[in-house]
A and B are shown apart, each in its own frame.
Chain A
Amino acid sequence: MSIREIMTIVISAILINNYVLQRFLGVCPYLGVSKQIETALGMGMAVTFVMAIASAFTWMVQRYVLVPLNLAFLQTIAFILVIAALVQFVELVIRKSSPTLYQALGIYLPLITTNCAVLGVAVINVRAAYGFLPSLVNGTAAAVGFTLAITLMAGIRERIELSDIPPALRGVPITLITAGLLSIAFFGFSGMVK
């Protein structure tokens, strides 16, 4: 595949079809872990790691197990199984090989099991009929887009924390309004790549 094709997938997954702001996947960690830039980045890193590996593995399961056996309808449950096992495995490996990284990622690692953006990437890869490399690129770029969105949100929320917000809007309401505005801002990218 050409560089041009790869760049199209990357730009599209990060900016135009951002998984959080345009497809509204993975909104739970996006709102839950975006109070501090540091933790948001940690979450982003963990998701990037898992999403890239999950894209590769789910592609292989789809291509070599489900399609040959005419069992494509088992996609969702099979992918969840693979992703959950993968997250567990990644956690085991990181705990053994790098306790520092394990400490930094903390609770976010197991939480990724239930991050619908990971499953979303896997399903969208299949639906777009991507090959192995495009799937991997799409997964990684989607995760980078997720990291971008959650980090932007954390930066804004850190400032909101110090601002004088009307009492009725404090906490969750102002966060949801911010998320909406950020999403509208990203709509500006639509139509950038044809």
Chain B
Amino acid sequence: MSLNIVFLSVAVLAVLGFILGAGLSYAARVFAVVRDPRIDAVLSELPGANCGACGYPGCSGYAEALVNGSAVLTGCPVSKRETRQRIADIIGQGGTADTITDKQVPTVKCCGDDNKSARLFQYSGLEDCRAASRLYGGPRQCRHGCLGLGTCVNACQFGAITMSSSGLPVIDRDKCTGCGMCIDICPRQVMSMVPEKAGVQVLCNSGEAAKAVRQVCRTGCIKCRKCAKVCPVGAVSFENGPAEIDPGLCTNCGLCIPECPVNCIYGTNLAG
């Protein structure tokens, strides 16, 4: 076998590679896209989870929108205050108090587990709240409470939600990043965002009248207003149906908790 064929193969591949390489480097120059170096700097500050909670395709999309000025600093609910401050410095926006807010976490406004909330029928379909809620409005008699099939647990990208033994989601506020994906996916809209420091909460989502609530759930809010009467700062309101405690006014004194006749007020981090 002659050596010629070896040299020829090497030469052909080298020439082919050279032509293609030259073509690519020329194309890279012709089709060059000018990219703002600040985009990469912002991107390196962002969490990088690509959760999509900001509404942009991934962290890089959000970083681009931030630099273009079409997104606001609070768009990423996952980022912390210090992160937003650093991003504000990079893109030359003065970070002010209203653009840099405290972390929000979801809360499940329902405490009617299997023992307290009556069933409408035995459900044995897909293990998914969205599917269950489409079947005659779900297997629970209460139309507003948690269905307990754990769709939010699967939706959470950060493993911050687990199901308790009684069948209600429990949120780990340390692991939670506040992206809000669980809130969007819940067919009952039983979750809502509260500031991380919120302590005392009314865990009922039902705006029905007292009699209707009592018929389906032993621990649903009956709007008796005893909590409002005992509250020293007037943080309890009944505007949207069930009692609601304004976390901005609440002092976490916990006086309302023993007052509730149906035990649907729960508290953590109580003062005093």
Q: Which residues of A contact B (CB under 8 A)?
A: 61, 65-66, 69-71, 74, 77-78, 81-82, 85, 88-89, 92-93, 95-97, 103, 162-164
Contacts and interface: CB of A to CB of B under 8 A. Distances in A.
Interface in B21-58: 21, 23-24, 27-28, 31-33, 57
Of B17, B31, B57, B131, the most chain A CB neighbours within 10 A belong to B31
B43 to A, nearest CB: 15
A50 B12 CA distance: 24
B8 A81 contact: no
Nearest to B151: A162
Q: How large is the interface on B (under 10, 10 to 19, 20 to 34, 35 or more residues)?
A: 20 to 34
B126 A78 contact: no
Q: Which 7 A-B pairs have the closest CB atoms?
A: A96-B31, A85-B20, A92-B31, A162-B126, A92-B27, A162-B128, A89-B27
A92 B24 CA distance: 9
B16 interface: yes
Main secondary structure of the interface of B (DSSP, over half): helix
A81 B20 contact: yes
Contacts of B9: 71, 74
A88 B24 contact: yes
Interface string B96-135: 0000000000000000000000000000001110010000
Nearest to B131: A162
B16 A81 contact: yes
A162 B132 CA distance: 12
Contacts of B27: 89, 92-93
28 contacts: A61-B16, A65-B12, A70-B5, A71-B9, A74-B9, A74-B13, A78-B12, A78-B13, A81-B13, A81-B16, A81-B17, A81-B20, A82-B16, A85-B23, A88-B24, A89-B23, A89-B24, A89-B27, A92-B28, A92-B31, A93-B27, A93-B31, A95-B31, A96-B31, A96-B32, A96-B33, A163-B126, A164-B126
Contact of B12 (A74, A88, A93): A74
B267 interface: no
Contacts of B57: 103
A38 to B, nearest CB: 12
Main secondary structure of the interface of A (DSSP, over half): helix
Given A70-B5, A95-B33, A162-B131, 9 more contacts: A71-B9, A78-B12, A81-B16, A85-B20, A85-B23, A93-B31, A95-B31, A162-B126, A162-B127
A10 B188 CA distance: 49
Of B8, B16, B32, the most chain A CB neighbours within 10 A belong to B16
A23 B227 CA distance: 70
Contacts of A70: 5
A93 B23 CA distance: 12
Contacts of B95: none
Contacts of A85: 20-21, 23-24
A71 B127 CA distance: 60
Given A95-B33, A164-B127, A77 B24 contact: no
Contacts of A164: 126-127
Contacts of B131: 162
Contacts of B23: 85, 89
A84 to B, nearest CB: 8
B61 interface: yes
A103 B126 contact: no
Contact of A82 (B5, B12, B20, B28): B20
